[in-house]
Structure 1
């Protein structure tokens, strides 16, 4: 009762009395509680936050590396596409040049063939002309002999006939 009258008496007296023992005890308990919180709550919480921060930093780095790799691959693809276009253009140009060369070769071959046929035709015409001239000479010679034999009305010897034919052929050849 003494204790309760003391507490009641103290409460009735007002706030003039401060209990330093309780305050000290509460301060110690608060410090111990802070130490426990720091060791068991704040440390693991900071560790989790640190891990989260590292994870986010790693993800950002990985994303940046992926972006750089994608940019590099895109540039490579553009270069490959440019090379493919250049190669296609080169192939087209080569095909065009080969087509021109083949066209020129075909034209040259056709001209050569035409010239060869023309020369062959000239040779054949010359041969036919020689045959025709020979045949005409032979007929002229034969007719000359007949005319001469009728004019002279005598028979010529074979020697005279050959001489007469050759003379007439020479005259006919000179006239042409």
Structure 2
């Protein structure tokens, strides 16, 4: 009986270690970090607006974006958002590819110092939510998916094909 328990324990440890490289750890990361991204592209764009309109006044401002950036903090450093934190948030919360997340990080890291900080948001921002939604849709559809090298990743291929079929009037959030 004792050897059966020991064998079971060894098998469990092996499975955890082995499956950590085959998606098992990703599954648990998603469960513990509340990863439940929208499946459809419209949902992803709506989640971006929802996350960046903290006060729900239908206007996305620097203040809203700064509040949202608090949810990018995985290392306890609220003043610096590093690429890995940004990529984690955009792949986990929004369901975009790692390549697109890196693309977006580079758009936010304006001074190219490897971290998104207060200095990267020097200009005041204020967008009506509908305009912010369209800006993100057009950025993904035209700027990102418009470059063939950004459609190599299987996730990007599927998402770019889906977004290619959408028209701006199809993008509506509840």
Category of TM-score, reference length = shorter chain: under 0.3
> Which has a greater percent of helix?
1
Structure showing the higher strand proportion among its residues: 2
Normalised by the length of structure 2, the TM-score is: 0.22
**TM-score when normalising by structure 1:** 0.22
Greater relative CO, 1 or 2 (CA 8 Å, sep 6+)? 2
